[in-house]
Structure 1
Amino acid sequence: MVTYRVTVATGTSDYAGTNNRIYVTLVGERGASKKTLLDKWLLNDLESGSVQEYDVESERDLGQVWWVQLDKEKFLVEDNWFCRYLKVETPSGSSLVFPCYRWLCKNEAVCVREGPAKRPFDDTLPAFQSHRQKELQERQKLYRWKVWKHGVSKCIDAESQDDLHPDVKFDNDKRSDFENSLHLALGELFLKKFVNMFGNSWDSLESFQKIFWRVKSQIGIYVVKHWKEDWFFGYQFKNGCNPCLIERCGAIPKKFPVTDAMVGRFLGGSTLDREIKKGNIYMVDYQIMDGAVGNVIKGKQQYVAAPMCLLFQDPQNKLMPIAIQLRQVPGPDNPIFLPSDAENVWLLAKMWVRSSDFQLHQIGFHLCATHMLGEVFCIATLRQLPAIHPVFKLLTPHTRYTLEINTRARNELLGESGVIARVVATGGEGLGAVAQRASQSFTYKSLCLPDNLQARGVQDLKEYFYKDDGLLIWSAISKYVERIMGLYYKSDREVLEDLELQAWLKDVNQEGFAELPRIDMPTSFHSREQFFKFLTMVIFTCSAQHAAVNNGQYDWSCWVPNSPCTMREPPPTCKGDISVDQLMDTLPDMSQSSVQMAFTWHLGRPQPDKILLGTFDEEYFTETDAKNAMQEFHQELTEIERRITSRNHGLDLSYHYLLPTNIDSSISI
C-alpha cells in the first residue's frame, strides 16, 4: 500500500466551506488511488479558509499523477464548496500543486490538473486530450452567446445572475455590498427626501448645494468652484471621466462653419488655419448622438443633442472652448455659440455639451467599450480554453465577476425600469441607438491605446494625464504579457499551431463581435508579436481602461450642473437671453439629480473586495519563471505608482484614476 499526503485548501469567502461529503481520488499513469472521504474524526473539515491534510492510499505507486478528481455528494441539504487548490506529496518526496479555484455544486465531479500550463500540443497522451475536450464541451453548455441588442457585441445567455454558474458569480460579501450600496447611497448622501420630488426644479444653481453638501469628493469640491470656467470645461476632455473623445482638428468641417471672424479674438490675434498647422486646435464631436430619441420620464419628454465643440490649446497649455454648435447640420436655427455671448447663453451651450458627454460616456465608452467588450473576452475564454491553457491562466484574473456585473447591469441599470430609464435622457429607445452607433465605431486600433492616441492626433496634447499614465500602464502590461507568454510560445509557429488559441480568437470574432463587421480584429494569430499585442489590449481594456472611465464618475457628476444626466427642455435655436429660471427648467429636477448622485457614487466608489492589477490572490501559474514575471509586473506597477504620485504633488488637481492602486484587475463594478 502506498500513501500520498494531500493538502486541501477551502476558499476564504463566507459560505465557501461545506458540510457535504467531498471525496478525493488521485489519477496517474499507472491507475487510480482509493476514493477517499475528506473527513477527520471530531474535526469540522472544509470550513471557510481551512487548509487540511489527508492521507490518500493507493494499492500501487501511481507514477506521474495526472490529476486529482474531486467528487461532491449531498448530505442532508445541498451545500456548495469552493476549492482553492490542492497539494500532493508523493512517496518519493516530490510536491505537486493543483490550482482549482472552482465551486463544486450538486453531485459534481471535477478533475484538477497540475499547475504547469500546457498548450494543446503539449498534451500528447489521449487521456489528456480527452480531458481537455470534455472540459470545453461542458463549459460550452454552461456559457452560451446571446444577442442583447442588435449592432452591439454579444453577451452571456442568462436572464439574471441566478442563471450563472457559481464560478462566475459574486461571492457573498460582494453580493451583499452591491445590493445594498444604492440604498446606502441615498441614505448616506441624505437624498431620500428629494427622490420623490419629481418635476420640481431647483430655484438656482446654488440650490444644488442642498444635495451636494454631504459629498466628500475633493475633486467634486473643486468642480463646484471651477465648473463655469472655460479652461476647466476644456480640461475635462483630457482628464475627466471621458478622456477618449477629443481629437486634433486637421481642418474645420463643413458641418461646423466656424470662421476667423467668430473666434479670432480668442486665438490671440492668430488665425484658425495657422493654429491648426501648429497643432493647437482640437475638437470633440458627438455625432454618435445625432438623431437619438430622447427619453420620456413619467410622461415628460427629455432631450438630447449632438453637439460639436472647437477648442484651442493656448500658450499656458489650457484647452479653451472657442465655439459650440449643438446640432450636426448648420443652419439659421442652429447657431454657433461663442465665449463672447451672454453669460447664461454660453453657459447653457456648455451644459448641453456636458450632458451629451454624460450620455456618450455612460453608454459608449463605459458600457460598450469596456463592460461589453470585457464580457466577450470572458465568454470566449471560458468556452475555448481549458484551465490548463496558459492564456486561460493569464486572463482569468481579468474576467473576475464580469459576467455577473454585466448581467445585473442589463436588468437593474439598463432595463425598462432601471436607473437609466428613470433619469437619463438616453434611457429607453435612445439607449439602444447610442449603444449600436458607438459599438459600430469601434475598431481594433481604437482599442489599442497607442494606436488610438495616434489616430486621434493627441500624442502631443499637453497635460493629458490619461494619455501619459495610460501609456505607462499599457507598456507595463505589454512587457508582462511578453515575459509570461514568452515562456510558452518560443516561436511564431507555436502560436499558429495552437488550435485552442485560434479557436478562442475565432469565437471572439465570429460570435462575440458577429454584429460588429467593421471592428477589423485579427482573424487568426500568425506571430508572437501580434498575439502579445492582442492580449495586452484585452488586459488593458478589462483593467486600466475601465478604471479610467469608471472611477471618476462620482467626482465629475456629483455636481449635477457640470454633468447633467438629462435635459428637460430642447436645445436653444437662437441666442436670445437665457434666464436663471430657464436654466433650472432645463437641468435635471430634484429627483433626477438625487438619483444621478446616488448611482454614480454606487458605480464609481472604491470596491471593498477589489483585487488590484498586478496582484494575484489566485495563483493559476505555479512555475517559478511565471511567478517571477508576475513579480516583475508588480514591481513595475509600483514604480509607475511612484512616478504618478510624484507628478500629482505638483498639480492643483491631481489625476489619480490610473494609479495602479486604483486599478481593479477586472471589470467587477
Structure 2
Amino acid sequence: MGIFPPCDSSEVMEKLLGSVCGKTRDDPIPTPSKIKGKVVLMKKNVMDSTDLWASFVDRVHEVFGRGISLQLISAEHFDSNDPKRGRLGKQAYLEDWVTKLTSLKAEDEACYDVEFDDCLGIPGAFVVRNRHHSQIYLKSLTLDDVPGHAGPLHFVCDSWVYPSRRYDSDRLFFSNKAYLPSETPPPLIVYREQELKNLRGKGSGELKEWDRVYDYAFYNDLGSPEKGEDHARPVLGGPAYPYPRRARTGRAPNKKDPNTESRLFLLNLNIYVPRDEKFTQVKFSDFIGYAIKSVGQVLVPEIKAVFDKTFNEFDTYNDILSIYEKRTQLPDDKSLAKIKDCVPWELLRELIRSDGERFLNFPVPEVIQADNTAWRTDEEFGREMLAGVNPVVIRLLEEFPPRSKLDTEVYGNQDSVITREEMEKNMNDLTVDEAIEKKKLFILDHHDALMPYLRRINTTSTKTYATRTLLLLEDDGTLKPLAIELSLPHESGDSHGAVSRVFTPCQGGVGGMIWQLAKAYAAVNDSGFHQLISHWLNTHAVIEPFSIATNRQMSTLHPIYKLLKPHFRDTIHINALARHTLINAGGILETTVFPGRYAMEMSSLVYSNWNFTDQALPKDLLKRGMAVPDPSRPHGLRLLIEDYPFAVDGLEIWSAINLWVAEYCSLYYPTDEKVTGDVELQSWWKEVREVGHGDLSDKPWWPEMATRNDLIECCTIVIWVASALHAAVNFGQYAYAGYLPNRPTVSRRFMPEPGSPEYAELEHEENHEAAFLKTITAQFQTLLGVSLIEMLSRHSTDEIYLGQRETPYWTGDQQPVRAFERFSASLVEIEDRIKNRNLDPALRNRTGPVQMPYMLLYPNTSDETKKGGLNVKGIPNSVSI
C-alpha cells in the first residue's frame, strides 16, 4: 500500500502491456491524431444492376445512417479492456456514400474518403461492418500520414463483405505486411488465430453464399442415382477409389443414395464455393457468353444434318471444314418447320445471335490454318507428342519388347507382341538393340492405364483399343512412328491376357488407310488420357486441396500465403462448375470422350500412382527417360531430344519460378529452424498430406517440410503445376483438337478385318474419307466437344498472368517486390528466346508440317493477352479455366 503513485488502472495496463510490444514502462502514450484514408469498393448495384430492390433498400439504409463503418486495430498497443487484443480505434464512416455517383459497369470501382481517430500506434488491421441490405466488394484501404509509418499504409482486401447480420464475428483485414506466426505483433495474434478459425468453419451443415468456409469433401456429387443405375457413379475418395478432395458444399444427401450428395438443377450455376473464390463478374459474363455462342455453333450443323444423306455424320473432310470457313446459312423457315419437334429452334433463336448475324462458325483451328492436310503426316503425328496439347506422356523405350506392369494374376500376359522385324524395316538400317543403346527409341504407352477398363468401355457405343506407339528419333530431331499396337481384352476373360495386332507405316491404298486408322486409335487414347489425366487430374484436381489448405491454415499475413494465393485464383470455382456440367454423370466429358461413364473412375486408378514430387518438371523428365543429369546445364539436365519444345521452354520457365521461390523463401526463412518452427506452415503441410491428399498420405515420397529446400521444392511444384503445366495442356486444346480428325476423342468401330463390309469400303479410294469419319467421333459429339474446348481454350479478359500481380501492393515488404520484378524480367527474356527458337529452321519440331509455332509456354508478359480470347500465348497464374 502506498508504494505506487495513484494512477488510472487503464494507464497501468497500457504501460505493462506496452512492454510486451517492446515499449518501456516510461514510454509516453502517443497523442491521438486524425488519419485520412481512401477506400476502394464496388457496390452491389454496380455489380448487379438488375437487383433494383437491393439498391432501393440500401439507399433507405443510408438515409438513416446505416452505412459502412471501419475501425482500425493497433499493431502496437493492446486494448485496455481486453489484454489479448489490439486497441480498437473509433468507428469511422465512409464519406459521400449517398451522394457519390457510381457507374453501372461491373468493372468500375468507386473511391471514398474516410477519416479515423488514431488507434494509437501503427494499425495492423481493421474491422469493417456493412449495415446495408446487400454485399459490397471491398477492394482496398489506403491510409496516409500514419504516425510512425513512412509512406502510405496499404490494406489489400479483394473480398466480398456481406451485411453484418450474416456473420457470427466481425470481418477484418490485415495490412499487407507479411509476418511468420512467431513474429506477429502480439496485439494481432488473437485476430490472426480467430480469422483462420472462421475460415475453417464447423465442419457440418449446408454452406450459404455469404459463408467463407473452406472445407473438404469426397467427389460424391457426380452421380444422379435417382435417375437410375446408368446415372449412378461411385464416390471418389477413400480406399476403394482414391482421389484428391474437393471443396465441401454441405448439400443434402441424395434421396436414393445417402452416400451421394444431391445435385442442383443443371441451369442453376449458383454452386457454393467460398464467395471470394468465385469468378469476377467480368469473367463470369465472358464464361456464359462463350457458352451460349458455343451452343449456337453446335445447333446449326445439327439442324442442317437432319437434311443430310447421313444423319449425325460428316461425310467428307470438306463437311468438317465447312463449320469453320464461313457463316452457316440456316435452312429456310419451311425446312425448319419439318424439324420443329426435335430442335428447340424458337426458344434458342434469339439467344444465339452474335454481332447482328444469326450464327457464327467456329474459328479455324491453327492446326489447319496453313495446310488442312498436313495433320495427316507421320512427322506431325510424332511432333505433337513433343509440342502438342499432351506432351507429358512420351517416354524413352528402355527394353524391348515393352512390358506391362499390370498384375499377371489378374490380367495375364499384357506384354507387347511387336517384333524386331516389324520395327527394323523402317529404322534406317539400325537394329532395335542399337537404337535402345543410343537412346533413340521412344514410346507413347497408354496400354496399362486403359486395359483394366477396356472391356467395360467397349460394352458401350465406344469400340476402341489400348495402344502402344513406338517411334524412332531421326537425325534431324523429328520422331518417326515405327509401329502401333492395338490391344483388346481376351474373349475368355482378363486373366488370359491381351489380344493384340500390330500395324506399321504404309502410304497409299488400303494399307495407307489402315495405317491412318491405327494412328487415329492411338490419338483417341491420347485425347482421353489428356483430358482425364494430364489436364483434369494432374492440374485441376490435385491443386484444389492445396488451395483449400492454404486458406484454412495460413493467415493472409503469412509470407507463403502471399506467395501462393495468386496461383489458386478461380480454381475452386472452375472445378465446381466442372463437377456440375462437365465430369458428372451424362456430362459433356462422358458424352464426348471415349471412356464415357467410366472416365472419372478410371482417373481414380491413375491417381493411386500419383506422386507429388514427380510433378517437378526436371524429375518428370528424368523419370520418363527424356533427360539425363548434366550439372553443366543451368537446370542440371540434358534432353535426349534436344528439340523437345515443351521441355526446352518448360525448363526455362521452371528454373525462373524456382529461382524466384528460392529468393522469396530465403528472405523469411534464413534457417531450417524457421521452417520447422512455423506452426501455420507445418499445419498446412500436414493437412495437405493427411486430408487434401489423404488417400496417399502414407506414401514415402512426400517431402518432410523440415528444411528450407523442402519448402522451396514444394512451392515451386505448386506454382509450376498451377501455372505453366496447366497452360501447356489447356490452351492448345482448340488449336490442335478444334479440328477433331487430328485429335479424335471417340472411336465407334474396330479396325476393319479383311473380307468385312468395312474393309471393302477401304478398297475404293472414294470411300476413304467416309470410312475414316465413320470410325472416329460422330458429328454431334464432335460439335459438342469442339464447342467445349473452344470455351476452355479462351483467356478471360481479366486474367492475371505469370509474372504479374493483381495489385502492386500485394506485400508491404520491399525486398520481395524487387525479387518479383527480377522474376518478371526473366520471363521477358524467356519470351525472346522462344521467339528465336521458333524462327530456327533447324528446329523442325518448333513448327512442324502444320507450320504452327510452339507458343504454349510463351509467358506473354505484355498487355496483349489482357484482351482475352482464343490465344495459345500466355501463362495464367492459376488453373482458372
TM range (shorter): over 0.9
Give the aligned CA root-mean-square deviation in angstroms: 2.7
Distance 1:303 1:621, change over 3 A: farther
Match of 2:810 among 598, 607, 620: 620
| SS in structure 2 at match of 1:242 | coil
What corresponds to 1:442 in structure 2?
A: 610
Superposition map of 1:322-361 within 5 A: 322-327=482-487, 333-340=499-506, 342-361=511-530
Q: Which amino acid aligns with 2:798?
A: D
What corresponds to 2:863 in structure 1?
A: none
| SS in structure 1 at match of 2:695 | coil
Q: Which moved more, 1:151-160 or 1:500-509?
A: 151-160
User: How far apart are the structure 2 equivalents of 1:135 and 1:328?
Assistant: 56
Tell me the alpha carbon deviations over residues 313-366 of structure 1, each in whole angstroms, 9 at most, x when there is no partner: 111211011011112779895211111480111111100000111100000010
What corresponds to 2:242 in structure 1?
A: 151
What corresponds to 1:665 in structure 2?
A: 877
Match of 2:477 among 306, 314, 317: 317
Superposition map of 1:105-504 within 5 A: 105-107=162-164, 108=167, 109-123=170-184, 125=186, 127-141=187-201, 142-148=213-219, 149=236, 150-158=241-249, 161-187=270-296, 191-193=300-302, 200-213=312-325, 214-222=362-370, 224-252=372-400, 253-254=402-403, 255-286=415-446, 287-292=448-453, 301-327=461-487, 333-340=499-506, 342-428=511-597, 430-459=598-627, 460-504=640-684
Tell me the alpha carbon deviations over residues 134-172 of structure 1, each in whole angstroms, 9 at most, x when there is no partner: 111111111111111232211111366531222110111
| SS in structure 1 at match of 2:782 | helix
Distance 1:310 1:372, change over 3 A: same
TM-aligned CA deviation for residue 655 of structure 1? 0.5
Q: Which moved more, 1:113-122 or 1:354-363?
A: 113-122
TM-aligned CA deviation for residue 220 of structure 1? 3.6
Q: Which amino acid aligns with 2:817?
A: K
User: How far apart are the structure 2 equivalents of 1:332 and 1:289?
Assistant: 12
| SS in structure 2 at match of 1:152 | coil
| SS in structure 1 at match of 2:879 | coil
Match of 2:835 among 645, 654, 659: 645
Tell me the alpha carbon deviations over residues 181-229 of structure 1, each in whole angstroms, 9 at most, x when there is no partner: 1221244688553597696222234432232435333334357321221
Match of 2:88 among 26, 32, 46: 32
Confirm whether residue 6 of structure 1 aligns to residue 37 of structure 2: yes
What corresponds to 2:799 in structure 1?
A: 610
Distance 1:491 1:195, change over 3 A: farther
| SS in structure 1 at match of 2:271 | helix
Contact 2:613 2:717 (8 Å CA) reproduced: no
| SS in structure 2 at match of 1:241 | coil
Match of 1:654 among 820, 837, 853: 853
What corresponds to 1:84 in structure 2?
A: 140
User: How far apart are the structure 2 equivalents of 1:79 and 1:195?
Assistant: 47
* Length-normalised TM-score, structure 2: 0.71
Q: Which moved more, 1:432-441 or 1:149-158?
A: 432-441
Unaligned runs of 5+ in 2: 1-31, 50-54, 79-86, 202-212, 220-235, 252-268, 326-361, 404-414, 491-496, 628-639, 763-767, 841-846, 861-873
Q: Which amino acid aligns with 1:180?
A: G
Distance 1:660 1:190, change over 3 A: farther
Contact 1:333 1:573 (8 Å CA) reproduced: no
Q: Which amino acid aligns with 2:173?
A: V
Contact 1:294 1:304 (8 Å CA) reproduced: no
User: How far apart are the structure 1 equivalents of 2:473 and 2:573?
Assistant: 42
User: How far apart are the structure 1 equivalents of 2:570 and 2:276?
Assistant: 9
Q: Which amino acid aligns with 1:101?
A: D
User: How far apart are the structure 1 equivalents of 2:483 and 2:455?
Assistant: 24
What corresponds to 1:636 in structure 2?
A: 826
* Length-normalised TM-score, structure 1: 0.93
User: How far apart are the structure 1 equivalents of 2:297 and 2:822?
Assistant: 41
What corresponds to 1:55 in structure 2?
A: 115
User: How far apart are the structure 2 equivalents of 1:308 and 1:296?
Assistant: 18
User: How far apart are the structure 1 equivalents of 2:304 and 2:812?
Assistant: 52
Distance 1:293 1:491, change over 3 A: same
Contact 2:454 2:465 (8 Å CA) reproduced: no
User: How far apart are the structure 2 equivalents of 1:518 and 1:209?
Assistant: 51
User: How far apart are the structure 1 equivalents of 2:93 and 2:787?
Assistant: 50
Match of 2:126 among 55, 63, 68: 68
Q: Which amino acid aligns with 1:26?
A: L
User: How far apart are the structure 2 equivalents of 1:194 and 1:325?
Assistant: 39
Q: Which moved more, 1:511-520 or 1:103-112?
A: 511-520
Q: Which moved more, 1:453-462 or 1:87-96?
A: 87-96
Contact 1:195 1:592 (8 Å CA) reproduced: no
Q: Which amino acid aligns with 1:444?
A: F
User: How far apart are the structure 2 equivalents of 1:248 and 1:647?
Assistant: 24
What corresponds to 2:407 in structure 1?
A: none
User: How far apart are the structure 2 equivalents of 1:190 and 1:648?
Assistant: 38
User: How far apart are the structure 2 equivalents of 1:123 and 1:359?
Assistant: 49
Q: Which amino acid aligns with 2:528?
A: Q
Distance 1:354 1:85, change over 3 A: farther
| SS in structure 1 at match of 2:373 | helix
Paired residues, what number? 662
User: How far apart are the structure 1 equivalents of 2:455 and 2:801?
Assistant: 38
Q: Which amino acid aligns with 2:292?
A: H
Distance 1:46 1:4, change over 3 A: farther
Q: Which amino acid aligns with 1:22?
A: I
User: How far apart are the structure 1 equivalents of 2:536 and 2:156?
Assistant: 32
Distance 1:249 1:575, change over 3 A: farther
User: How far apart are the structure 1 equivalents of 2:311 and 2:744?
Assistant: 15
User: How far apart are the structure 1 equivalents of 2:720 and 2:729?
Assistant: 12
Contact 2:487 2:499 (8 Å CA) reproduced: no
Unaligned runs of 5+ in 1: none
Q: Which moved more, 1:564-573 or 1:62-71?
A: 564-573
TM-aligned CA deviation for residue 441 of structure 1? 2.5
| SS in structure 2 at match of 1:163 | coil
Q: Which amino acid aligns with 2:450?
A: M
What corresponds to 1:98 in structure 2?
A: 155
| SS in structure 1 at match of 2:526 | helix
| SS in structure 2 at match of 1:563 | coil
Match of 2:693 among 500, 510, 513: 513
Contact 1:444 1:520 (8 Å CA) reproduced: no
TM-aligned CA deviation for residue 279 of structure 1? 0.6
TM-aligned CA deviation for residue 561 of structure 1? 1.3
Distance 1:305 1:433, change over 3 A: farther
| SS in structure 2 at match of 1:236 | helix
Contact 1:199 1:589 (8 Å CA) reproduced: no
